[in-house]
Structure formats: structure tokens, C-alpha cells
A and B are shown apart, each in its own frame.
Chain A
Amino acid sequence: MSIRYRLDSIQTSYDSRTVLDIGRLTLRAGRLYILTGANGAGKSTLLSHLALLTAPTSGEIVFEGETVHWSNSALQRQRRDVTLVHQSPYLFTGSVAANVAYGLKLRGVHGDGLKQRVEEALALVGLAGFGHRRSRELSGGEAQRVALARALALETKVLLLDEPLANVDRNTSDLLENIISALPARGTTVVMTTHDPEHLERLKGERIHLTAGRLAAPQSFSNTSVEEGEIQPCRLSPKPATSFSIA
């Protein structure tokens, strides 16, 4: 399967504190990746890079075979193949339908086609008929699902999810898990973060674990879907691995 991302010698620091240091990371089309790690391990920073929102301090990201130039006008075109759902998503003021339609309109979808795709996306997350509701009047779980619908409607090549299952009830969680696990079959690359070992067990995904900004073999979870042979140069040495490839 084709390669979506290739990250090479990525280093990111804030105020001279290095928060992310990844030698090599390859992400493929049609896969589900589960990103784990403690708070502050660099998960959000990595997602932000993958969303092409922020540039790393140094290093190169190749997306769909094209090197990302951060100040380039091509960036916006590349960014349209990716979308990210924040763990506490922001909904624009206005109706739920307007929120879901926002990205579609930017991609030139109008009229009946737009209406149809908005309704489909809302139905997918179990919010059929919610289109006319004001975004500010939704509960936390509903808002989370609207944000997911807003992202799903775009049918992007990459879907990045920051803790999508953290703030929802059990039923919603099951529903979202089903939606998420169905995506790779359509060729979508999904990268999601989670804290919850249960999700890790149920979702058949490849695991990426970050420890203090570096790729590492997971310590806390025993059953990882990433097989031993795929972790190439990572030895359990005191010095953390800087090169890590999930092939």
C-alpha cells in the first residue's frame, strides 16, 4: 500500500525545550494507527505536524510523495487531504448543518450535493435530523460527534483524531469505534490518540508510542498490535531510540 507520510529527522522544540524528536516514521494509506504516550509525550505536537498545521523546528515531512514546504502556497492544497478533530472540538457559531457544510463549501460542494453529504455525515454519527440545531446548544458528546461528522463529510485521505473517545458515553463510544474501524478499508489513514487500554484492545490498529517526544516500545500496555519485527533499531538501551519505522 502507498505511503501517506514519511517523517525524517523531525525535531520540535518550544523555548529550546525539545518536545518531539523522531528519526524516521512512515505512515501508510488504509491503516489505523493508535498513538499512545503519557501527557506531554508529544502526541498533540505530532498530530499538529501530521495535520500540516505547524512545522517542526527541523526535519522533513513528505506527504503523498511531495515534500511539505511550510510557507508554500501548495501547503493549503496538501492540507485539504488531511483533517483533524481536536479532543475538545470547537464548533462554529450557527447551526450544526452549517458546521458540517463548512469544509465542503470550501471544497466547492454546493446545492443539493452539499445538503445530501451533510445529512449523510450526521446520520453516520447518529445525529440525523440535528442539522437545524444551534451548535452552542449541544451537549459535550453531541458536539464531539458533530465535529467528527464535520471531518468525515470531507472524506479526506487522512483523519487525525485527538482522544475522540474520551468524553463520550459508552453507546457513543461504541458507535464511534465502529465508524473509525471501518475507515481504513476505504483507504483512509486514521491516526488517533487514546489513553484507554480498552480501546487499544478493541481497535485493530498499529501502535505508535511516544516517550518524552521519542518513539519507543510501549511499556505500559502488553498487547500491542505492532509486531516485534517491525521495531527495527529500537533496543531497550538507556539511550532512547531515535529511529523508528512502522513498515
Chain B
Amino acid sequence: MDFFSESLKTALELITSRDPDVVSAVTVSVVVSLWSTLFASLAGVPAGVAVAVTEFTGKRAVVTLLNTLMALPTVVVGLFVYSLISRQGPLGGFGILFTPWAMVVGQTLLAIPIVANLTMSAIKGADPRIVPTALTLGAGPFESIRRLVVEMRFGIMAAVIAGFGRVIAEVGVAMMLGGNIRGYTRTMTTAIAMETGKGEFALGLALGLILMTVALMINMALNALQQR
């Protein structure tokens, strides 16, 4: 059986017919990933900048930790968050397990180390003259770092895009915390996992092609914004 040509055909059919299940999965994937990326950036960018520009004891340990967390398996993050937000967990009272917000929490944790690490690398690789230049022109410590961030926005944007790439492509957290609920928490990746499980390989691959297309479009949009 020629899976690939068949799945290409299926993908086109699903797109042209605006299959409601596919539309919903794409929407959930994109919206959850964007929220996660937003929150991860709000935490990860300042953290990365802070680690990059300050000297403190144990900095090396923090950097090593960030590097390690970048390789964290998604199911571990999923399990960890699961243990917190299950009804029996300390945060069970919010009742967010098996909702899109559970996925946002898990994926945010997943993306923070990546965003922070790559932000840190970008800032570390920044031109060493930027901060002194800002200072000699009258900037205070905060303003000089703000300037540094503005100057390094391409690198930081790349960090954010990498974070987005990690969360939209992952399946562990989405499956575990979202529960793959049709029309609610079913994402592209959990749908692919499910269809594969059902033996619908061509459909799974078709969904994969759509996921890649969507990710490509979003990356292009982010890049276009960045070029402004």
C-alpha cells in the first residue's frame, strides 16, 4: 500500500472539505500552543535574560539545569502536572484536568526551559558593546538591559519560535493532560496518535502533513512579523 500518496490525497480532501474534526483539532492545537508559548515567553524570556546578564554563585548549576530541563521528556512533564492537578493533587480543586488549560499548563512548563535557554544564548552572544553604549548615553541599568533585549530581538524571537515548535509538535502532555477529548482537547498530535492506534495510518499521516503545513504557516507569519 502506498501510504504516502494515499495520505497526501486524504490530507487534501480533509482540507478542501473543511472536515469539522480536523478544523477543531487544528484550532485546539494552534490556540493551546499559542497560549503556552505566550506564557512560556513571559516567564522564559525574562529568566533567560536575567541569567545571561547577572553573575551569581551557582549560575553554572542553573545553566546546567536549564540545559537538562530542555531535554525533559514530555510524559514526565505530563505526569508531574497530572499529579498536581488531578482531583487528588494539591491543585485538584481547580478541576482543570482534561481541559485545554491543563495542556496549556503542561506545555508552558515544557517550553519555558527552551525559551529561557535560547534567550540566554542569544543574549550571551550579543555584542558586548550594547550595554556600555546604552549606559554612556544615559541609560539606567534597567533601560540598558531593555535596549539589549530590543537589539537581540531576532535571537529572542527565534527562542520563542523554538518554544512554539516544541509544544505544537508534542503529544505526551496533550494526551495525558488533555485526554484527547473530541472537539475539546483533541489536538493534531493526539489525533495522529489515535488514528495510528486505530490502524488508520494514511489518515494519521495526512493529519501530520496538515500539522506541518499549519506549523509552517505560523512560523512564516512570525518571521514576517519579525522582519518589520
Contacts and interface: CB of A to CB of B under 8 A. Distances in A.
State if A and B touch, Cβ cutoff 8 Å: yes
A122 interface: no
A80 B129 contact: no
Contacts of A80: 138
B143 to A, nearest CB: 7
Contacts of B166: none
Interface in B132-162: 132-141, 143, 147, 150-151
A86 B135 contact: no
Q: Which of B133, B136, B138, B143 has the most CB of A within 10 A?
A: B136
Nearest to B133: A90
Interface residues of B: mostly helix, strand, loop or mixed? helix
Given A86-B129, A93-B151, A76 B137 contact: no
Contact of A79 (B130, B136, B150, B151): B136
Interface residues of B, number: 17
A76 B133 contact: no
Contacts of A4: none
A90 B129 contact: yes
A107 B138 contact: yes
A89 B143 contact: no
Contacts of A84: 132, 136
Interface in B108-136: 127, 129-130, 132-136
A150 B137 contact: yes
B143 A51 contact: no
Nearest to B154: A93
Given A92-B147, A93-B151, A106-B143, A86 B138 contact: no
Given A103-B137, A106-B138, 7 more contacts: A83-B136, A84-B132, A84-B136, A86-B132, A92-B150, A106-B143, A151-B136
